[in-house]
Structures are given as structure tokens and as C-alpha cells.
Structure 1
Amino acid sequence: MPSAAELPANFADEARFLLAVKLFEQGRISSGKAGRLCGMGRVEFLLAASRSGVPVVDLQGDDLTNEFA
């Protein structure tokens, strides 16, 4: 295991982002809280999460039909 001196400078930021993404993905925190957790605004977090492959919209059934109507 690398020592703290060997870790990348942005390791703590990356770890906070990954934690925020996972909690958001599980529905345990909102996108706004997730953004604050990793030092981003809500929209910035949603864009970054989407780029990371995390679905940021969960529409099902009637909600999905209404969205495309």
C-alpha cells in the first residue's frame, strides 16, 4: 500500500467524488448534497457523474411516458 506521500495530489478529491457518486447512485443523498460533499455544484456533479457512467435520471413508467409526450 502506498504511503500518504506517494498518493496522487488529488487522491482525497477523487475519493470524495467516488463516495458522493456511490451514495447518490444508491439514492442515499441528493445530487445537491453529493455535489457539496465533493466540492462541486449540483449541475457540475451531475455532469461529472454522468461522464463516469452513473445514470443521473431515474424515470419509469408514466414519468417516462410523460417526459417524451
Structure 2
Amino acid sequence: MNALQLELPAEVTAEEARVLLAIKLYEVHKLSLGQAARLAGYSKRAFMEILAQHRVPIFAYSPEELRDEVGT
């Protein structure tokens, strides 16, 4: 795993930065749900709730994948 060191404004905590980074990396499919949850420091279930709060879908199917999944 790579390490990253950042200087954050006083109003942004390290935890907030980790969570927001994990959300974005999950959203752009760079991390799995489990990886993003670990990065954020939460269980998968808790991270799923955080994703919902930020209106990030947990499942992102393409139209074709959704059609295959539903079977129509």
C-alpha cells in the first residue's frame, strides 16, 4: 500500500480526509467496498451508511449489466 502525507487546513480533520478520499476512490471504482471501508476506518456496513449519506450508490451497474442481472 502507498503512503500519503498531506497538510490539511485546520477545519479538516485527518478522519474527514480519509473518509472523503475513500468515498471518491470507491465512486471511481479504484477501491472495492471493503478496501474503501478499511481506508476510511469503518466496517463495511458503516461505510455503506456513509456512502448513502453522501448519495453515492453502492451498486453501479451499466444498463447492460442491470438488464442481465434483472433478466429482461
TM-score interval for Structure 1 and Structure 2 normalised by the shorter chain: 0.7 to 0.9
In the alignment, which residue of structure 2 is the partner of 1:56?
58
RMSD: 2.5
The structure number with the bigger radius of gyration is 1
Note the residue ranges of structure 1 that are not aligned, 5 or more in a row.
none
Of 13, 16, 19, 2:18 maps to 16
Identity among equivalent positions (%) equals 31
SS of residue in 1 equivalent to 2:36: helix
List runs of 5+ in structure 2 lacking aligned partners: 1-7
1:7 aligns to what? 10
Aligned CA distance change for structure 1 residues 67 and 50 (closer, same or farther; 3 Å): farther
Q: Which has the higher helix share?
A: 1
Give the aligned residue type for 1:25. E
TM-score (normalised: structure 2): 0.70
**Number of equivalences:** 64
User: Using the alignment, how far apart are the partners of 1:42 and 1:25 within structure 2?
Assistant: 15
The runs of 4+ residues in structure 1 deviating greater than 2 Å are 59-69
Which residue of 1 is the match for residue 30 of structure 2? 28
Deviation by residue 1:1-57 (Cα, 9 ceiling, x = unmatched): xxx7x724x711000000000000000010101010011011111111111111111
TM-score, length-normalised on structure 1?
0.73
